[in-house]
Amino acid sequence: MEGRYRILYAGELMPGHALQEVVPRLAAKFKLQEDTARDLILGGPGRVLKHSLTNGDAQRCRDALKGIGLKVAIEPESATNTAPATVEGRPDAAPAQPTPLHFGAEASSRSHNTRQADTRLEDGSEGGQSRCPKCGADAVSELTGICQACGVVVERDLANRGRRPPRPPNRVDNPFAPSRADLTPPRAEPEEDALQAPQSRPVGHGWLWITEAWKLFKAQPGAWIGAVVLFYIILILVSIVPLVGGLAVTILAPMLSAGLVIGAHQQSREGRFEISHLFAGVSQSPGPLALVGLVYLLLALGIALITGLLFAAVFASMGSSMDPSTMDPNDIGLFLANPIVLLPVLVAMLLGVPLAMAMFFAPSLVALDQIPVFKAFGLSFSGCLKNILPFLIYGLVAMVLVILGSLPLMLGLLVVVPLLSIAIYTAYRDIFYA
């Protein structure tokens, strides 16, 4: 028989998460009152949030709670810590068992339920609310209101069958009883935490992306600095390889930058970033990410070719007297001041900026959501286009940070560059996820 596990709350939040952020996140995901969510978070360690889980269910439950910001642990159930046993038939057929979560006044609540054990409720269950109306097992968690034997949410099941409406959120039968809110992560639904079409965000989110990135950076600054330094060392070493160095850098850069995005995602979900995450893109999606770099290189070469042809046309239209090879140095200023000379530069900018927009989120979309390469370019361009104003704020702040980081012997860039790398991930999550 497969072993059973339970989820225990460690009494603290994941690194990089603040109480004021986790409370509404927890309340929204599991449909709680915010006061209930806050009481749960501040209630201290050792509380059993879920029990009688298979190993796979326990892993999914843990990941969901960590994604919200709660630090939890998985523990095997034993004879001494097991949750209420599943008993077929009437709930009074088994002796009372300890509940998995112990609130301060739970003893009075439990005695209150015991006094009502012989009182039949409208739905046919006992006063202790431990009998499942679907399978009849005495396995309904007092915390979640979910049957540990069949997984049904009791109040929802009763409401669906018209036997009793769901309990209003502000109704409390016993002010000292533990919450019956559903903290069990529901089964994954397609629309939950799934990639969406890029959304337009308020202008202030350009600053928010950087502040959110700072929270992740300050939680593990050493690992982030080490990963970014290694990133540039690798690119410099590859670039000095004769003939193929530049091509290799263009293809390798998206693969390594995707590794940083994957690392930021892992840290946001599980609270830990490691230098080895730098190579996660190489190991997980090497082909598509290499194609991202190759497509970018081909498009950049196309822009360079168009710009070169325009310059040649400009020189041809101005005649041999404006040949730079025979021009007097004193006339170069007059040559550059001619408006027609700026035309190729303007065209290069008009083509280069959209290419940069298409490239900005492409590695993230490919690495984290397995989006096809050309569709990733399109989504990235759309996401940037819909957020021109936030990106303007982001760009101005980034420029100021780079200038300030360059002042103390360039040492400040050890903080600024990792920070801006993480901000790519925080902007991506904000734009492409609800």
Same domain, 239 and 140: no
187 found inside a domain: no
The reply to whether 200 falls in a domain is no
Answer for the pair 175, 362: CB distance below 8 angstroms, yes or no: no
Residues 154, 212, single domain; the answer is no
Q: Which domain holds residue 244?
A: 205-432
pLDDT on residue 423: 95
Q: What is the pLDDT of residue 88?
A: 32
Q: Decide which of 127, 142, 160 is a domain's last residue.
A: 160
Beta bridge pairs of residue 9: 47, 72
Would you say residue 192 lies in a domain? Answer: no
Claim to verify: residue 134 and residue 217 sit in the same structural domain: no
Position 179 in a domain:
no
Name the nearest CA neighbour of 250 among 300, 304, 303.
300
Residues 147 and 220 in one domain: no
Q: What is the pLDDT of residue 327?
A: 57
Residue 193 falls inside a structural domain: no
**Residue at 321 is within a domain:** yes
Residue 42 covered by a domain? yes
Please report, for the domain that includes residue 144, its CATH number.
3.30.1390.10
| pLDDT for 76 | 86
User: What per-residue confidence (pLDDT) applies to 221?
Assistant: 94
Among 95, 130, 160, the domain-final residue is 160
Do 102 and 248 share a domain, yes or no?
no
| 413 found inside a domain | yes
**Total number of domains in the chain:** 2
pLDDT tens, N- to C-terminus, the chain (434 residues): 567 888 888 888 887 777 878 888 887 777 677 777 788 888 778 777 777 788 777 777 887 888 788 888 888 887 555 544 333 333 333 333 333 333 333 333 333 443 333 333 333 333 344 577 777 777 666 544 666 666 666 666 676 665 544 444 444 444 444 444 445 444 444 444 678 889 999 999 999 999 999 999 999 999 999 999 999 999 999 999 988 888 899 999 999 999 999 999 999 888 889 999 999 999 988 999 999 999 999 999 999 999 989 888 887 777 655 555 565 555 555 566 667 777 888 889 999 999 999 999 999 999 998 899 999 999 999 999 999 999 999 999 999 999 999 987 888 999 999 999 999 999 999 999 86
26 shares its domain with 96: yes
Q: Are residues 395 and 319 in the same domain?
A: yes
pLDDT at 333: 59
Same domain, 19 and 145: yes
Residue ending a domain, among 123, 141, 160, is 160
pLDDT value, residue 394: 95
| Same domain membership, residue 219 and residue 80 | no
397 in the same domain as 258 = yes
Residues 6+ away with beta carbon under 8 Å from 55: 2, 3, 5
Sequence-distant (≥ 6) Cβ neighbours of residue 76 within 8 angstroms? 3, 4, 5
pLDDT score, position 35: 79
Same domain for 399 and 294: yes
Question: Are 148 and 249 contained in the same domain?
Answer: no
pLDDT score at 304: 92
